[in-house]
Amino acid sequence: MGDPSKKPRMEDDGLVFPPNPYLKKQEKDVLYHLGLATDKDDLPALFGDVKFVCMGGSPTRMKRFAEFIGKRLGLVQKNGSGPKDLCSTDRYSMYKVGSVLSVSHGMGMPSISILLHELIKLMHHAACTDVIFTRMGTCGGLGLAPGTVVITDSAVNEMFQPVYQMIVLGKQVNRPTKLSREVAEEIRAAYEPGAKYDVVIGNTMCTSDFYEGQARIDGAICDHTLEDKIEYLKAAYDAGVRNIEMEGTCLAAMCHKSGIKGAVVCVTLLDRLLGDQVNMTPEEHDEWEQRPQELMAKFISKRLKL
């Protein structure tokens, strides 16, 4: 198969080949945080038909998505029991409904990064083909009405660069953050005009922190001024940023490096140009949180020609 560390293989045959030459030499692979292993679980039988890996921060939200997509696809379990958590650890939760995997990724890049390593390997071991990875989340908006859904065009870091930065062997590594424009357009096309909310495509800024990292002035610590914050957020807006969250660049870079199509779809909980505190009503929160899920469900139904 050539040197998989050089070239992702997705374009060739739809299979996933993680860009790590050492994996081939391993007798078995333990996906520690998922609680799965190649020597004890029949991964092709359990996961071989997966086409859509849908991720979101909270376990409850991803269980709800599994139930929701199950109803949409007509795959509700006959005995009425809800979807079963396939993770045997309590680090993440993972539900499978037909060709959809609904997985919680926790908060922030370190958490989603660990999950993505194991999910990418899972797709490889299970011989899945043509998989799409998406994150459905919440975010702060810039100049948008709260409740607007933003589909990410370019995922950028705090300096507005389309780069995911990490430290490996004590050195800074920069990886490009490329998402699938085609998938983003297809998700937007699933939106039905007349819905109660708008859907826009824009750049998404990904930060390592919710408070100071997102220029908030309501955290426990703040060394910048309100004026600094507004100046920075306006510069972000001028760079095409329409929303701010904490996982997008990591997902974009890891999917791109592994030859997997990725997309990020988030609903804005507030307009960050107007404030910092997230204080919508629980009813609004519940309804808004559903919006990326509804859009993804329509996208998946269309892809499956249902």
Q: Is 210 in the site for ligand URA (CB under 6 A)?
A: yes
Q: At what angle do helices 59-72 and 282-303 cross, to 10 degrees?
A: 50
Query: DSSP secondary-structure letter at 83?
Result: P
The dihedral of CA 214, 114, 83, 125: what is its sign?
positive
Does residue 214 touch ligand URA according to CB under 6 A?
A: yes
Task: Pick from 102, 104, 134, 138 the residue near ligand URA by CB under 6 A.
Answer: 138
Long-range contacts of 207-216 (CB under 8 A, 24+ apart): 207/157, 207/158, 207/244, 207/245, 207/246, 208/108, 208/109, 208/158, 208/246, 209/246, 210/246, 213/158, 214/140, 214/244, 214/272, 215/272, 216/276
The residue number whose beta carbon is nearest to ligand URA equals: 140
Apex 63 CA angle, 243 and 246, nearest 5: 25
Considering only 139, 179, 205, 254, the residue that binds ligand URA (CB under 6 A) is 139
Q: Which stretch binds ligand URA (CB under 6 A): 133-141, 173-181, 251-259, 283-291?
A: 133-141
Q: How many residues bind ligand URA (CB under 6 A)?
A: 10
Contacting residue, 10, 34, 246, 265, with ligand URA by CB under 6 A: 246
Pick the closer one to ligand URA by CB: 36 or 142. 142
Q: Does 264 bind ligand URA (CB under 6 A)?
A: no
Is residue 179 near ligand URA by the rule CB under 6 A? no
Separation of CA 15 from chain center: 20
**Considering the complex, what minimum distance in angstroms separates the CB of residue 244 from ligand URA?**
5
Check residue 265 for interaction with ligand URA (CB under 6 A): no
For ligand URA, the binding residues (CB under 6 A) are: 138-140, 210, 214, 244-246, 269, 278
